[in-house]
Amino acid sequence: MAPAPAPLTSRPQWQALTELQRSLATCHMRDLFGQDPDRAQRFFAEGAGLSLDFSKNRITDEVLSALMALARACDLPGRTEAMFLGEPVNETEKRPALHTALRNTGADPVLVDGRDVMPEVQQTLARMDTFTRDVITGHRSGFTGKRFTDVVSIGIGGSYLGPRLVSEALLPYHHGQLRGHFVANIDGSDITEVLNRVNPETTLFLVQSKSFRTQETLENSRVARDWFLANGGAERDIAGHFVAVTANASEAGRFGIRTENVFPMWDWVGGRYSLWSAIGLPIALLVGMDQFRALLAGAHDMDLHFRHTPLERNLPVLMAMLGVWYSNFWGADTHAILPYDHYLESLPSHLQQLDMESNGKCVTRDGRTISYQTGPVIWGGVGANGQHAYHQLLHQGTRLIPADFIIPLRSHNPVGEHHASLFANCLSQTRALMAGKTEAEALEELAAEGMSAGEAAELAPHKVIPGNKPSNTLVMDKLTPHTLGALIALYEHRTFVQGVIWDVDSFDQWGVELGKQMGKEILDQILGNNPERSQADASTEHLIGLFRSKRP
Ligand code: F6P
């Protein structure tokens, strides 16, 4: 067996970054801006309709150069080409990761095991086009002949978060013929609240599941089918009201969904990377196929940018390597996603799965235990709301939390000076995080308000804002299908780059299997299917007892 490659932390490029962090430990970004009037222009990059200001980071030219040297030492260019070319970059499952093929609007073939997959990708898009057109025009209607008014998408994880994010983010592009609903949770309240709001005669159900074995999705789909049959629908009508998107057509058939109502998925697309596939059917139904194709085109433009732009000007690479800089050299445990756009409220949730299910790993691709930090906790929320919730901790807390601020230059809803105010809020936060407020500035401010020197001296320490808190600002002209596609693809590639540096398999998710297995065992015990005591711990046993004591 070939000797294991040198651990990441023993690479000279890693050592260089360790030294650079030490040299910058007491440096404040205020000084970096003061020393270099061109800083904002130099640390600014553009691609696929997005613009990145990364000047409010604890970096110098030397740091940036060292980060890119680490990326090259980890063979990032080679690993990137391997992904685009369909090599089995998902090594533990021996599969390619070809979400890029789903939006490959170019003419290039993409080979999987020597076979060009683009014809079936194009064929599926054509089927989606026909299907969505038939539903939207009323050519395809419900069992009483009425047009569909509601689409209920049943799925979880990547079969839910991506479609929901994009459907919400593109609300200004909805044609208005259909209302979209998303059901994910096994909590009965989720599906009950949706079924209470729709009419079986005019509701189309999409069962979205790559495996068609996900308990939450199957249970919810059974409830939907029973509800449909109990409210006027007949077995013969199931075909007209239930459609599946899955890589497991046989299981969909056993559920009662005919082959002609199954849209395919492929095992070379991961769930959290699948909104570009037929899993995006809810999106296409709500905004129309032309807008869905514009979304794909935006992602494809970001693919071209990522694949062909020098690392130093490459948006996914810059954002990824800055994340490595803070995670591995400054001890940052989390990363905040702060979209200053009402329509992007669900972006942090989608990026949580994308990033944390991809890089929340503790062994390398070849199974060696990792001694350094890997994927951070991804969290966030929409701005400016967060300023009245958790920004206090960002400004005066003890933790270093790098943040991505995302904002369009133009709003879909130009109400008064709202957008100017939103933009000013966004910039005020990144500026305050960077510059902060010194004690001298606080004292001067309090004196100007007429406070006595003694009172001011008492209060000033509480008004000091340390600053030196890093942020990126991502700007786009307007939130459109194209810029949204580019934005999501940007984060997909950011996640990939970090996985390359940390040497993890970013495309498997073995960590979720144990919970699923234990869930089945505990459910069986709760339902009395296996009366002998489980091997569970005393806490779990006690809580099972509490639950069973309340069962009717
Ligand atoms: O959480 C595990 C997971 O497999 C995710 O990776 C996936 O997006 C989700 O469950 C749903 O899986 P499926 O689409 O197969 O129902």
Cα–Cα dist 384/519, whole Å: 39
Strands 179-183 and 150-154: parallel
Q: Is the dihedral of CA 262, 268, 272, 277 positive or negative?
A: negative
Measured by CA distance, the residue closest to atom 16 of ligand 1 is: 209
Cα–Cα dist 153/150, whole Å: 10
Cα–Cα dist 57/318, whole Å: 11
Helix (H) or strand (E) holding 475: strand 471-476
pLDDT of residue 4: 66
Q: Give the distance (Å) from ligand 1 centre to CA of residue 283.
A: 19
Q: Give the distance (Å) from ligand 1 centre to CA of residue 454.
A: 60
Measured by CA distance, the residue closest to atom 3 of ligand 1 is: 157
Measured from the Cα of 509, ligand 1's closest atom is 6
Rounded to a whole number of angstroms, the distance between the first and last alpha carbons of the chain is 59
Cα–Cα dist 268/86, whole Å: 8
Cα–Cα dist 315/319, whole Å: 6
pLDDT of residue 101: 98
240 in Cβ contact with 142 (< 8 Å): yes
HSE toward the beta carbon, residue 551, CA cutoff 13 A:
10
Ligand 1 pocket residues where CB is under 6 Å: 156-159, 209-211, 214, 217, 271-272, 357, 509, 512
Q: Give the distance (Å) from ligand 1 centre to CA of residue 515.
A: 13
Q: Give the distance (Å) from ligand 1 centre to CA of residue 159.
A: 7
Written as six digits, the tokens of 3 are: 């000797």
Which of these is catalytic: 94, 260, 388, 532?
A: 388
DSSP string, 497-519: HHHHHHT--TT--GGGHHHHHHH
Measured from the Cα of 208, ligand 1's closest atom is 14
Cα–Cα dist 190/150, whole Å: 16
The total of other beta-carbon atoms located within 10 Å of residue 549's CB is 7
388 is catalytic: yes
3-state helix, strand, coil in the chain (%, to 5): 55, 10, 35
Q: Give the distance (Å) from ligand 1 centre to CA of residue 216.
A: 10
516 is catalytic: yes
Residue to probe by mutation, ligand 1, list 90, 208, 210, 505, most atoms within 8 Å of CB: 210
Residue to probe by mutation, ligand 1, list 213, 214, 217, 279, most atoms within 8 Å of CB: 214
Measured by CA distance, the residue closest to atom 2 of ligand 1 is: 512
Residue to probe by mutation, ligand 1, list 95, 353, 509, 516, most atoms within 8 Å of CB: 509
Of 394, 382, 392, 379, the residue nearest 335 (C-alpha) = 379
HSE toward the beta carbon, residue 387, CA cutoff 13 A:
15
Q: Is the dihedral of CA 478, 482, 485, 487 positive or negative?
A: negative
Taking each helix axis from N to C end, the angle separating 118-137 and 289-308, rounded to the nearest 10 degrees, works out to 150
pLDDT of residue 519: 94
Measured by CA distance, the residue closest to atom 10 of ligand 1 is: 157
The total of other beta-carbon atoms located within 10 Å of residue 393's CB is 11
What is the residue-level pLDDT of the chain in tens, covering all 552 positions? 666 667 899 999 999 999 999 999 999 999 999 999 999 999 999 999 999 999 999 999 999 999 999 999 999 999 999 999 999 999 999 999 999 999 998 889 999 999 999 999 999 999 999 999 999 999 999 999 999 999 999 999 999 999 999 999 999 999 999 999 999 999 999 999 999 999 999 999 999 999 999 999 999 999 999 999 999 999 999 999 999 999 999 999 999 999 999 999 999 999 999 999 999 999 999 999 999 999 999 999 999 999 999 999 999 999 999 999 999 999 999 999 999 999 999 999 999 999 999 999 999 999 999 999 999 999 999 999 999 999 999 999 999 999 999 999 999 999 999 999 999 999 999 999 999 999 999 999 999 999 999 999 999 999 999 999 999 999 999 999 999 999 999 999 999 999 999 999 999 999 999 999 999 999 999 998 876 666 779 999 999 999 999 988
What residues form DSSP beta bridges with 336?
379, 403
Cα–Cα dist 144/62, whole Å: 69
Written as six digits, the tokens of 527 are: 């339902």
The radius of gyration of the chain's CA atoms, rounded to the nearest angstrom, is: 26
DSSP string, 209-234: -SSS--HHHHHHHHHHHHHHHHTT--
Written as six digits, the tokens of 24 are: 């910058």
Measured from the Cα of 272, ligand 1's closest atom is 8
The total of other beta-carbon atoms located within 10 Å of residue 168's CB is 18
Burial, 314: exposed, middle or buried (Cβ in 10 Å; 0-12, 13-18, 19+)?
Answer: buried
pLDDT of residue 2: 64
Q: Which residue is listed with tokens 């093929």?
A: 101
Cα–Cα dist 251/517, whole Å: 20
Measured by CA distance, the residue closest to atom 8 of ligand 1 is: 158
Q: Give the distance (Å) from ligand 1 centre to CA of residue 219.
A: 15
Q: Give the distance (Å) from ligand 1 centre to CA of residue 105.
A: 26
Cα–Cα dist 285/130, whole Å: 11
Residue to probe by mutation, ligand 1, list 161, 183, 211, 492, most atoms within 8 Å of CB: 211
Cα–Cα dist 461/459, whole Å: 6
pTM of the model: 0.98
Which of these is catalytic: 168, 201, 216, 357?
A: 357
Which of these is catalytic: 175, 308, 516, 542?
A: 516
Taking each helix axis from N to C end, the angle separating 161-169 and 347-359, rounded to the nearest 10 degrees, works out to 150
Cα–Cα dist 207/255, whole Å: 10
Residue 524 amino acid letter: D
Q: Give the distance (Å) from ligand 1 centre to CA of residue 379.
A: 20
pLDDT of residue 534: 61
357 is catalytic: yes
